[in-house]
Chain A
Amino acid sequence: MSRLRPSHQNKREFRFKEWMDGSVDPYLGNLEMKPQQLTEETKEQFDERIQDYVRLNAELYDTEKNKGVRMFRILYRISSVIWIALLIGVMLLTVSHLPPNGDPDNPVNNEVSKRYIEQGLQETGAVNIVTGMILDYRAFDTFGESNVLFIATVTVLILLRKNQKMHNEKDMKEDQDDEKYEPQSDTILKTVAKVLVPVIFVFGLYVILNGHLGPGGGFSGGAIMGAGLILYCITFGFEKTERFFTEKTYKWISFTALSVYCLSKAYSFYTGANGLHSHIPLGTPGAILSSGLIFVLNICVGMVVTITMYTFYAMFRKGDF
């Protein structure tokens, strides 16, 4: 609480808005800060360091003069071999105690998988039982996975995103040096990418939208579409991708996808737990618009995976969007 600010600026709502916008650094003025100094060593210090290094290698680690090091190296090799042999033995012993493959009495073949196989089609409406499992019976688990992807991307953005205000001359020169080795001016790559990128996108969409009918789904289709985006970015550079994919796009897509997932699944959990009738039609199995929520959830997961892949690539390539 500062008495120097006008009274409306001390209100909790205003402070929350400031914190959301990031317009005020909450640590500034409240925390003792010291800018990092570059450590520079003088000529004498450098010579001393090199001399130490050479002497250490010549005298201390010389096996002819130092018997202890020699013994240690021999012991080290022998013990590592013994240790690895022990590990291999333990693992082989475990494998030999595993139940035989394909036995109907195995602990895997319990009532859970039986139920998935026998009643999965009626209960979820998805022809692909795997999609029915991960997006209906275990939808909460998949929701956690999508959130893990989101949190990982946010962390990468915090760590690696460049601040445009602090872009100085040294960074400009670095960018120019980087551009020398980038394949953007390559005609062969451009021609091939023009043909391939649309095909990759259509195939990724097909895999996402067909997830409840055949092999595929949100994760694999999203990975395909993310790879297509990365190829587009390699070929045509950040100027072209920035026209449709910026930080704002990332924010809104991830927000929309995750909240749609959360709300729709909350509805089905609520109705399921209270024994209410769900109003979502399952449709006829095999049709493209069927299996109720799974179709929507596949699209949500696919979008999250796509933008995660692209954002990772853009951040690790010193990109800024």
Chain B
Amino acid sequence: MIRTIIAAAFIIFGLLLFAVEIYGVNRFSFIMNRMHAAAIGDTLAMMSCMAGLIIYSGFNFTSLKLLLVVVFLCFSSPVSSHLIMNLEVETNEKANTHYEEETLTDEDDRLDDEEA
């Protein structure tokens, strides 16, 4: 019983995050903002839903396969976001009106040196 409640809580949290994701994707107008919203859904929301399902099914072979899905998404979703972003920066003709590129100053260099 407690297990069902915990699992349901996880899944509902994931679904709420999905709602936030869909709202954000439709609300924002520039690709980078929209992708930020979409990446939340791909990583945290999916992980939360899968965690809920794993808890619900208990520890068996099915839950191991679900864990594999989580690991796979963990690897692949950020990479796909990174690639789409790369393509956007390279090909967008109105780049300067959508975002500004940050140029490194001396202050940044000094901070980097201190960290390293």
Q: How many angstroms from the CA of A188 to the CA of B80 in the assembled complex?
A: 10
A196 with B82: in contact, given A181-B87, A181-B90, A181-B91 (CB under 8 Å)? no
A195 with B75: in contact, given A181-B91, A203-B68 (CB under 8 Å)? yes
**Residue pair A189, B83 in contact (C-beta under 8 Å):** yes
- Nearest-neighbour CB distance to chain A for B93, whole angstroms, equals 14
**Residue pair A192, B90 in contact (C-beta under 8 Å):** no
**Residue pair B87, A196 in contact (C-beta under 8 Å):** no
A111: CB under 8 A from chain B?
Answer: no
Q: Mark out the residues of chain B between 63 and 100 whose CB falls within 8 Å of any chain A CB in the assembled complex.
A: 68, 72, 75-76, 79, 82-83, 86-87, 90-91
A283: CB under 8 A from chain B?
Answer: no
A174: CB under 8 A from chain B?
Answer: no
**Residue pair A188, B79 in contact (C-beta under 8 Å):** yes
Q: Mark B50-73, 1 if CB is under 8 A from A, else 0.
A: 000000000000000000100010
**Residue pair B79, A192 in contact (C-beta under 8 Å):** yes
**Residue pair B86, A192 in contact (C-beta under 8 Å):** no
A198: CB under 8 A from chain B?
Answer: no
Q: How many angstroms from the CA of A41 to the CA of B40 in the assembled complex?
A: 51
Q: Mark out the residues of chain A between 165 and 212 whose CB falls within 8 Å of any chain B CB in the assembled complex.
A: 180-181, 183, 186, 188-189, 192, 195-196, 199, 203
**Residue pair A196, B83 in contact (C-beta under 8 Å):** no
Q: How many angstroms from the CA of A189 to the CA of B91 in the assembled complex?
A: 19
- Nearest-neighbour CB distance to chain A for B79, whole angstroms, equals 5
**Residue pair A186, B83 in contact (C-beta under 8 Å):** yes
A196 with B90: in contact, given A183-B83, A203-B68 (CB under 8 Å)? no
Residues of B within 8 A of A (CB-CB), count:
11
Query: Whose C-beta in chain A lies nearest to the C-beta of B80?
Result: A189
For B90, list chain A residues within 8 Å (CB).
Answer: 180-181
- Nearest-neighbour CB distance to chain B for A193, whole angstroms, equals 9
**Residue pair B75, A192 in contact (C-beta under 8 Å):** yes
- Nearest-neighbour CB distance to chain A for B16, whole angstroms, equals 29
| SS of A interface (majority) | helix
**Residue pair A186, B72 in contact (C-beta under 8 Å):** no
**Residue pair B82, A188 in contact (C-beta under 8 Å):** yes
Query: Whose C-beta in chain B lies nearest to the C-beta of A231?
Result: B76
- Nearest-neighbour CB distance to chain A for B95, whole angstroms, equals 15
Q: How many angstroms from the CA of A181 to the CA of B90 in the assembled complex?
A: 8
**Residue pair B86, A186 in contact (C-beta under 8 Å):** yes
- Nearest-neighbour CB distance to chain A for B52, whole angstroms, equals 20
For B91, list chain A residues within 8 Å (CB).
Answer: 181
For B87, list chain A residues within 8 Å (CB).
Answer: 181, 183
Q: How many angstroms from the CA of A192 to the CA of B72 in the assembled complex?
A: 10
- Nearest-neighbour CB distance to chain B for A293, whole angstroms, equals 26
For B68, list chain A residues within 8 Å (CB).
Answer: 203
- Nearest-neighbour CB distance to chain B for A137, whole angstroms, equals 27
For A203, list chain B residues within 8 Å (CB).
Answer: 68
Q: How many angstroms from the CA of A203 to the CA of B65 in the assembled complex?
A: 10
Query: Whose C-beta in chain A lies nearest to the C-beta of B71?
Result: A199
Q: How many angstroms from the CA of A180 to the CA of B87 in the assembled complex?
A: 10
22 examples of A-B residue contacts, CB within 8 angstroms: A180-B90, A181-B87, A181-B90, A181-B91, A183-B83, A183-B86, A186-B82, A186-B83, A186-B86, A188-B79, A188-B82, A189-B79, A189-B82, A189-B83, A192-B75, A192-B76, A192-B79, A196-B72, A196-B75, A196-B76, A199-B72, A203-B68
Binding site for B on A (CB under 8 A): 180-181, 183, 186, 188-189, 192, 195-196, 199, 203
Binding site for A on B (CB under 8 A): 68, 72, 75-76, 79, 82-83, 86-87, 90-91
Additional A-B contact list (8), CB under 8 Å, known A183-B86, A186-B86 = A180-B90, A181-B91, A186-B82, A189-B82, A189-B83, A196-B75, A196-B76, A203-B68
3 closest Cβ contacts across the A-B interface?
Answer: A192-B79, A183-B83, A192-B75
